[in-house]
Amino acid sequence: MKFSMAFEAQMADTSRESEQRTFFEAVEQSVYAEKMGLDCIWAVEHHALTQYSHMSSPESFLAFVAGKTDRIRIGHGVICLPPAMNHPVKVAERVATLDILSRGRLNFGIGKGGTQQEAGTFGYNLEELQPMIDEAMYLIPKIMVEDEIEHDGKYIKIPRRAIHPKPYQDPHPPMFMAATREESLRVAAQRGLGGMILGFSTPEETARLNKVYREAFATRDPKDQVGYFPNEYLAVGCPIIVSTDREKAVRIGLRGQRFFGQAIHHWYGAGPKPDVDDVTVDEHRQAVDAAKQATIAYLHEAQIPITAAATDMYNTEHAYGTPEDAIAHIERLEAAGADEILMLMQMGTVPHEAVMETLTHLGETIIPYFRDKQRRAAAA
């Protein structure tokens, strides 16, 4: 099982000074993550989502991190594929170049973005994007591999051209697809792509989604394969804050999760901007539960089915606490079928020092525990 870290460039204070500090801290955290034994750094791509994510140019961030590290993999989690946002030729060129310069350390995730706010920034209607995304995702690996490409599609037209460079990894980097719903995870599996469950799922929901993914992958039609090889792999989101002071870790984690959830609701559901006040652990839990009940009441009134995807954000049982608490939670995700624990700690109100302390505990205690466990299992 692998351990990775995801970056949103999320922030409560959106001043220029705070924005710059967030990026500098993210680079420092990434370099330290390699030292502490993490396996991958992932960066999202979002546009025009104030506070929720300022990571609008992940290719620049990841290239900078790649230049400061030697071993850790770097991942696009994910590149948004609407053509006016990221034209397939430019995606193929950037991915191949970064793969070369990182000496084959790149993971390549694909998606469409999640809000009309983002889609509208580039002149699109979110509801009309999926056919464009489908056309682009099948085209990009061909551009990276074939000597010349020519494409006359409904949304993308490319005259015959040789596109350079070609990736370091042969034939191309492993491909992933972001999945926040069961339907999208099933599509990822049917297309032979690694799945990335991004969010706040419980271990029980993760186990259910893992079953969906593995069954769909096993029964997929090879003709639906995106890219030149299948990638059966499930990366599972895991919010985490670790300290020897349990109350401190839980309070910081829940406060960050509240900010994350409120920021999502602001852009995805027209809710108010997130609050940044700190309160006790119990008050954080009460506020999260109140938000959950309000969401359930709204869904009932609107006659919308209540699914885990709609309520997982309000699950507060994560890897917040001591190293022993984190190990116990991660073991549940391991048992649920995770190939990779995709850790979220850079949430808007979480201080840099708390992230660095969490990384220290990961490197000194948590990751060695699982590595030793895996060695024992292999030797048995």
Q: What is the pLDDT of residues 69-116, one digit of tens each?
A: 999 999 999 999 999 999 999 999 999 999 999 999 999 999 998 889
Contact 102, 66 (CB under 8 A): yes
pLDDT classification of 380: cutoffs 50, 70, 90:
confident
pLDDT score of 87: 98
Using alpha carbons, list the distances in angstroms from residue 263 to 170, 178, 276.
Answer: 39, 19, 11
Using alpha carbons, list the distances in angstroms from residue 168 to 77, 96, 331, 368.
Answer: 19, 7, 34, 30
Using alpha carbons, list the distances in angstroms from residue 175 to 172, 235, 335, 370.
Answer: 8, 12, 24, 26
What is the pLDDT averaged over residues 15-42?
Answer: 98
pLDDT classification of 297: cutoffs 50, 70, 90:
low
Question: Residue 303: left if φ>0, alpha if ψ -120 to 50, beta else—which one?
Answer: left
Asked if residue 290 is part of any domain, the answer here is no
Angle, helix 130-145 to helix 88-101, in steps of 10 degrees: 50
**CATH number, domain at 331?**
3.20.20.30
The residues with which 204 forms a beta bridge, in sequence order, are: none
Asked if residue 141 is part of any domain, the answer here is yes
Does the pLDDT of residue 29 top 70, yes or no? Answer: yes
pLDDT classification of 304: cutoffs 50, 70, 90:
very low
Q: Between 264 and 219, where is the model more confident?
A: 219
The answer to whether the predicted template modeling score (pTM) of the entire model surpasses 0.85 is yes
Asked if residue 296 is part of any domain, the answer here is no
Q: Taking all residues of the chain, what is their mean pLDDT, rounded to a whole number?
A: 92
Contact 317, 329 (CB under 8 A): yes
Asked if residue 280 is part of any domain, the answer here is no
Does the pLDDT of residue 36 top 90, yes or no? Answer: yes
pLDDT score of 282: 78
Asked if residue 256 is part of any domain, the answer here is no
- Distance (Å, rounded) from C-alpha 342 to C-alpha 344? 7
Nearest C-alpha neighbor of 63 from the set 39, 88, 95, 34: 95
Q: What is the pLDDT of residues 37-51, one digit of tens each?
A: 999 999 999 999 999
Q: What is the largest CA-CA distance in the chain?
A: 62
pLDDT classification of 133: cutoffs 50, 70, 90:
very high
Domain limits for position 80: 2-247+317-379
Contact 51, 10 (CB under 8 A): yes
Q: Enter the tokens of residue 367.
A: 């990751």
One-letter amino acid at 331 equals E
Asked if residue 360 is part of any domain, the answer here is yes
Asked if residue 291 is part of any domain, the answer here is no
For the chain, report the end-to-end CA distance as a whole number of angstroms. Answer: 17
Q: Enter the tokens of residue 88.
A: 């397939």
pLDDT score of 298: 46
Count structural domains, the chain.
1
Q: Enter the tokens of residue 208.
A: 């259910």
SS (H, E, C) the chain: CEEEEEECCCCCCCCHHHHHHHHHHHHHHHHHHHHCCCCEEEECCCCCECCCECCCCHHHHHHHHHHHCCCCEEEEEEEECCCCCCCHHHHHHHHHHHHHHCCCCEEEEEECCCCHHHHHHCCCCHHHCHHHHHHHHHHHHHHHHCCCEEEECCCCEEEEECCCCCCCCCCCCCEEEEECCHHHHHHHHHCCCEEEECCCCCHHHHHHHHHHHHHHHHCCCHHHCCCCCCCCCEEEEEEEEECCCHHHHHHHHHHHHHHHHHHHHHHHHCCCCCCCCCCCHHHHHHHHHHHHHHHHHHHHHCCCCCCHHHHHHHCCCCEEECHHHHHHHHHHHHHCCCCEEEEECCCCCCCHHHHHHHHHHHHHHHHHHHHHHHHHHHHC
pLDDT score of 302: 44
Asked if residue 181 is part of any domain, the answer here is yes
Is the previous residue joined to 171 through a cis bond, with omega within 30 degrees of 0? Answer: yes
Segment among 2-11, 26-35, 200-209, 237-246 with least mean pLDDT: 200-209
Does the pLDDT of residue 2 top 80, yes or no? Answer: yes
- Distance (Å, rounded) from C-alpha 174 to C-alpha 165? 17
